Structure 1
């Protein structure tokens, strides 16, 4: 597997000094020599500024007025206007890279003095023009990656984002350039300048940590989630200890990670190492393959190790990353799926379409699944009375892997049985015939046809055990319920289905990569209403445990159960031939409530399944349980339900998700919808109990309106009803008073009660209504 790319960043003073120390050669520039030396030190690329101080100085002289009380030099103003009109270009001495050879291995840095969110409107205007000029030059040299200076002023983040959006639009469709925004992992309340390479010692607060992501989300939204825009996460500030708050970046388009030498601390021997929080983050993030950008490694920040020790340490973290180790280990899920990460695949429809042999071959390469099936069949055999005939039906036999499992289970259990294999795919049926002759000694009774319509066998040939592998990524999405409904006619009253049941699960997720993939398709509307099979990698599950919620309703766990199916079914209404009259018993609907502990952007939902094969033997792709139930099973990736438009979810909000499984005579489809609520605390005066001797006021007649009893009174019915009654014997009110009532207390001065209510703040459209974009054919 390719290693995580690592780049070496040179600050402008470092690069200037190095360039001056190099001797120019006829065919090799000083910059090219530096690049080659850096690559020979096992770095993948070089990160350098596109321009130098001469450009900064000229721009400053043209565009910045130092003293507004003094009259401006007309010639300076004319120069500025000519530059703004595009007449004035770069001078050779103002730019650093100049040739294609130099640009090949460069990550460009736009000038850090460019201030797109300055409080001064003219500075913002001229900064944007300077940025456009630098990007045009980078585009000319075919530099593929340019990192923009970070936003500095949250008040004007919209101006920053608008300028970035304009820059993206200026590049044109033929450009290959990618823009990345340098973002600190958090914005400390008290910290050095963002461009500094020193570490702030101020610990971050919850607000500080959330601000950085909120700023990025604003920029991303204004830029309409442009796929050319990414994040360069700056780890110069110390990382917070909370892993949950850092997980949100995993669902973002993370392209680079800045890791200056000042972020390292010395160990007992003086060698540079990272804090535990930063170590953990780097080990997790390398699975996404961002470019790690090291800097100031030659500044002798640490007493031991030298400049190469920083790169060696990063490589050590990569090699010890659990995700990377799993991807390199044969037989693991991570190893199997590493070439499929975040790739949208249409779910299989084996009932509607006949699968090819290659597809069967891929799914038969999962020994873990068939080990579980073998154990389940063995237990089912052992639970049946000995010395009685047993019939095993393998339905949807494909090329016969479950037939092999059944034979191994018979040998393992010491039982005897007749095996029947049912298959509708005419091509796969040829393979079954060949295998019956070559592998099974013609011991298998082969039945060609649709399992739902197969002839009813005589009673002595009915099934004691039915074995199937019709499950999809969401459990029921390959129409296992409909298929097994038809075949249950051949099951004996005390017969067993393997699987016995299966359950679908759902979780909300954020993934800029998947969102871009869906939106970039030719039929974006249709594709945004289509579930996909995806090996989820660059994603962030947004939900938390339900007990963290502050809302008035009870939220569920991070990943929640939708529905289940049990076989054989007991609730289906059958006709005289044993077939269900309608498919309505297989329709499902559920409303789930998720707690959202930290702010995020909802891009869709991850669907998983868990199945009980028999007894305590099962299959699972539930992320928290799969390694205990069916470890290293590779047959299924999760199902991804996309959204047409992203939905912002604020911190401590509550997400309500409705999902339906619907059907008619020809199709089965899913529809989904989400609403977002914010819990709001409401404090209101508590009603006061009247004295026991007082009579309650008469109830108004139906349709009557509560009105003040005294002319001129303007008391609202609600406040009037909350007023305490006057005890008997109290002095009469003066004329013009409140007719037997005391003056109402001011709101908030009496006893109060605090409650929480949910305020709706956002929702999605209903996706795939009526199965208009995607369905599964019966």
Structure 2
């Protein structure tokens, strides 16, 4: 091959990498490809090809109609466009039509819909509102796209837009316009505002109400913009990344190539579950029809039909050709990059990719009995259980070093509250064996089906070393310490272990559950694993998830926007900047266990009516027994670039165990921790997948200008019978005379 990108890579045959689907687009193409041409494009290595829906005859006819209409003095009536005729198009229903991507609007969309075309690329607006000084043109364009979506009931519309208005990256297709305006005078300012193209897209998709059939084809510039804009587009519904020859640079061998920033962008975008396709624009190959094979065969041949040798020779290029027919250097380079992509990890293949941006209702293990398969999914994460085992080991070692008393003569009493199928029980027994500290283990579980499984585990795996109890942990009175024939007497627990944490830390009611079982914990020396956990949040832009929640509401789920969803957030943009005192991720609140005895005494008094007036509560009639678990926060996030948010991303961190003996050089005690925070998970619990983030959606996207502050207020409310969240988001920007302009939205769960 003439290109240096062909060759064999030393790849493991079992490696699975992102697949590149590469198509070809010719902006000067005016006729639909013939069957032969279409086949030749595919044979040259492309997977799909674009074709115009109508031809120059149609375009000229429309321009003439507009011109004639404008010549009628005083008339403002739009010309009547007659239907498409056979002279206006060379696109007809064929077996290969579904492989075409069409271009342009209304009549064409309707006709393409009839022909079976499923994706139509529409050239984006040539001018953004900032350049035009008015948003009228963009609004009119957006309205046209909205109407086209109604006409093309079975097609996806893909708006072709530049990542930003880089000079030379303008659309080359001729517009259906007789305006005297030229691209030269469209760009009146020398300063480039890199967000204007995204502004136009935001207007278009907002007018179209986040239609799930509306996508972006993103033209990649030669000079990439800041990471902020790259990630903004990453969060959008990308269908294509389009490249023209000017995007590439030439390497030392004279072949097209892309620099490191472009390669990193491709690597990032191709990690999406629904990764964009590639569209190479104006790079060839030439598609003129070759003379028919039969015309190359010697007509003087005495045989009625050519021999196989003659037929093969007629269809092969001459030996003097220095280039394989249809070979494309740009395509070859992208195939080279495809082979250079990092293989998916086992974690990505088996878990992470499948759950990308997939909304799940949070589990409610307190009210629901989970199925075995749900427990099995949790147990597939070794990182969490390794951290728990390390925490139990550290607690047992220090218990022995500090010579703490035990609640049983048989050793340290460990209770696993909410045991499920018993993975933490197994880890507690292993920690005892590792440290040599004897333990007495109790497994408490309310799920009657999981209880049966625990009994079997005790027989088959734990050797009868565990006492299994079927009860709600809040109703458990503690370990039975009396002989079988004596009146029942209950003892205390030294170490209380639980895995009740949710995606936001407290959203699966860990505080309420652990409050209910704290009475069995030894008051002087008992410890809880975890000992504390904190909730964190960040405002995010995630158009795909917003559209998904909207569709669920329209499908009958009236609480879709009031539900905090568990989701592996991926195609998102963290809109907040990293600035001192106002981080991208901020602490909302914290819970600690065990609670101080004074707090527990107050709770008991309120439940018994011991406080005059009942002590109040979040709702009338409540005694306020759970008021100590209510929380509220008010956070400020700084946004340098303008944008839009669709909700709040929630995370948590937990301290499983903090050393009671050791201190580091700064006086801090070593901790065994868990974290789902994007900037901390690799330090504290790398590759942990037990918890995905939580997503608090907004009913309406909130747009904010550049240099804004987002004020986020959230409440954790309780009325003794239930717990819920309320959240409010406001956008502020300081203007002259220090007047604050703001917009706000508030939602309850």
TM-score above 0.5, yes or no: yes
TM-score (structure 1 length as normaliser): 0.76
Hey, what does 2:653 align to over in structure 1?
A: 610
**In structure 2, C-alpha distance between the alignment counterparts of 1:393 and 1:192, rounded to whole Å:** 65
Q: Does structure 2 retain, via aligned residues, the 8 Å contact 1:610–1:622?
A: yes
What does residue range 449-468 of structure 1 map to in structure 2 within 5 Å? 449-457=471-479, 461-468=491-498
Offset of residue 9 of structure 1? 2.6
Hey, what does 1:517 align to over in structure 2?
A: 548
Hey, what does 1:168 align to over in structure 2?
A: 146
Offset of residue 342 of structure 1? 1.0
Offset of residue 279 of structure 1? 2.1
Hey, what does 2:292 align to over in structure 1?
A: none
Hey, what does 1:195 align to over in structure 2?
A: 172
Q: Does structure 2 retain, via aligned residues, the 8 Å contact 1:654–1:676?
A: yes
**In structure 1, C-alpha distance between the alignment counterparts of 2:255 and 2:158, rounded to whole Å:** 31
Hey, what does 2:306 align to over in structure 1?
A: none
Q: What are the Cα deviations for residues 452-473 of structure 1, in whole angstroms up to 9, with x where unaligned?
A: 1111446984111111100000
**In structure 1, C-alpha distance between the alignment counterparts of 2:605 and 2:390, rounded to whole Å:** 31
Hey, what does 2:619 align to over in structure 1?
A: none
Q: Please state if 1:214 is matched with 2:199.
A: yes
Offset of residue 105 of structure 1? 0.5
What does residue range 589-608 of structure 1 map to in structure 2 within 5 Å? 589-608=632-651
Hey, what does 1:706 align to over in structure 2?
A: none
Hey, what does 2:440 align to over in structure 1?
A: 418
**In structure 2, C-alpha distance between the alignment counterparts of 1:429 and 1:146, rounded to whole Å:** 56
Q: Please state if 1:298 is matched with 2:284.
A: yes
Distance 1:320 1:348, change over 3 A: farther
Offset of residue 192 of structure 1? 6.5
Distance 1:511 1:652, change over 3 A: same
What does residue range 194-273 of structure 1 map to in structure 2 within 5 Å? 194-195=171-172, 207-235=192-220, 237-273=221-257
Q: What are the Cα deviations for residues 653-675 of structure 1, in whole angstroms up to 9, with x where unaligned?
A: 00000011011121000000011
Hey, what does 2:616 align to over in structure 1?
A: none
Hey, what does 2:49 align to over in structure 1?
A: 46
Distance 1:147 1:308, change over 3 A: same
Q: Please state if 1:348 is matched with 2:357.
A: no
Hey, what does 2:333 align to over in structure 1?
A: 313
Aligned pair count reads 633
Q: What are the Cα deviations for residues 694-732 of structure 1, in whole angstroms up to 9, with x where unaligned?
A: xxxxxxxxxxxxxxxxxxxxxxxxxxxxxxxxxxxxxxx
CA RMSD in angstroms, aligned pairs only:
3.0
Instruction: Between the two structures, name the one with larger relative contact order (CA 8 Å, sep ≥ 6).
Output: 2
Q: Does structure 2 retain, via aligned residues, the 8 Å contact 1:507–1:541?
A: yes
**In structure 1, C-alpha distance between the alignment counterparts of 2:635 and 2:58, rounded to whole Å:** 57
Q: Please state if 1:658 is matched with 2:700.
A: no
Q: Does structure 2 retain, via aligned residues, the 8 Å contact 1:391–1:419?
A: yes
**In structure 2, C-alpha distance between the alignment counterparts of 1:572 and 1:165, rounded to whole Å:** 63
Q: Does structure 2 retain, via aligned residues, the 8 Å contact 1:591–1:659?
A: yes
Q: Does structure 1 retain, via aligned residues, the 8 Å contact 2:237–2:544?
A: yes
**In structure 1, C-alpha distance between the alignment counterparts of 2:191 and 2:679, rounded to whole Å:** 27
Hey, what does 1:150 align to over in structure 2?
A: 124
Distance 1:414 1:192, change over 3 A: closer
**In structure 2, C-alpha distance between the alignment counterparts of 1:579 and 1:221, rounded to whole Å:** 53
Offset of residue 281 of structure 1? 1.7
SS in 1 for 2:690: coil
Offset of residue 435 of structure 1? 0.6
SS in 1 for 2:686: coil
What does residue range 170-189 of structure 1 map to in structure 2 within 5 Å? 170-172=148-150, 175-188=153-166
Distance 1:318 1:645, change over 3 A: farther
Offset of residue 297 of structure 1? 2.6
SS in 2 for 1:494: coil
Q: Does structure 1 retain, via aligned residues, the 8 Å contact 2:27–2:172?
A: no
Q: Does structure 1 retain, via aligned residues, the 8 Å contact 2:496–2:528?
A: yes
Hey, what does 1:761 align to over in structure 2?
A: 742
Structure 1 residue ranges without an equivalent (≥5): 20-29, 111-130, 548-554, 683-756, 769-773
Distance 1:480 1:579, change over 3 A: farther
Q: 1:101 is matched with which residue: 47, 70, 95? A: 95
Hey, what does 2:505 align to over in structure 1?
A: 475
Structure 2 residue ranges without an equivalent (≥5): 1-15, 175-182, 287-321, 482-488, 608-624, 659-670
Q: Does structure 2 retain, via aligned residues, the 8 Å contact 1:596–1:651?
A: yes
Q: Does structure 2 retain, via aligned residues, the 8 Å contact 1:465–1:498?
A: yes
SS in 2 for 1:463: coil
